[in-house]
């Protein structure tokens, strides 16, 4: 499961987002004792992509990011920051031993929260698709050239575009 680590790295390294939510960016769910605003994220799916020669090294994971705040205005402002952080990833880019090839926002849904720990808050759910390769986690690679359109990598036995 590389997608949650990619999302955490993108969000936790965005200074504008950290100025608003501090360190309240967590996987799966927000702790009952957490202050608001806060963000949680989870992987929804990562279907196997088969090719004629076997399983593809390219993964397409769906990730849900939830923004929880005390007011609608605050929630939508943070949702814009999250969207900006996610969609301004300059692909291809290496994040946590994966090459991120693209990030796409699929949907955004606001609603009020009715659980006991988050009663009276506004939650905005964002659904993203992340395309990435994880082959670099297996062996060490060296970055030879980076352009806006591709990465040229070398590992022990081949050069990878």
Q: Please tell me the predicted confidence (pLDDT) of residue 78.
A: 93
Whether the per-residue pLDDT at 50 is higher than 60: the answer is: yes
pTM over 0.85: no
pLDDT mean over 122-130: 91
CA distance 50 to 48: 6
| Unique residue bearing structure tokens 């590389």 | 2
Q: Which domains does the chain have, with CATH numbers?
A: 3-160 (3.30.2000.10)
Q: Please tell me the predicted confidence (pLDDT) of residue 158.
A: 47
Show the DSSP H helices in the chain as ranges: 3-12, 15-21, 72-87
Angle between helices 72-87 and 3-12 (to 10 degrees): 110
């Amino acid at each position: 499961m590389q997608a949650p680590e990619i999302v955490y790295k993108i969000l936790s390294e965005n200074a504008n987002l950290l100025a608003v939510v501090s360190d309240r960016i967590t996987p799966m769910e927000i702790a009952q004792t957490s202050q608001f605003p806060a963000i949680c994220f989870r992987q929804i799916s990562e279907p196997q992509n088969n090719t004629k020669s076997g399983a593809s090294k390219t993964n397409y994971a769906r990730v849900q990011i939830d923004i929880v705040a005390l007011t609608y205005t605050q929630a939508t402002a943070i949702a814009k920051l999250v969207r900006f952080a996610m969609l301004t990833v300059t692909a291809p880019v290496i994040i946590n031993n994966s090459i991120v090839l693209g990030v796409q926002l699929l949907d955004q849904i606001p609603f009020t929260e009715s659980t006991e720990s988050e009663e009276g808050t506004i939650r905005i759910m964002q659904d993203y698709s992340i395309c990435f390769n994880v082959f670099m986690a297996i062996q060490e690679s060296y970055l030879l050239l980076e352009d806006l359109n591709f990465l040229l990598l070398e590992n022990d036995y081949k050069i990878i575009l």
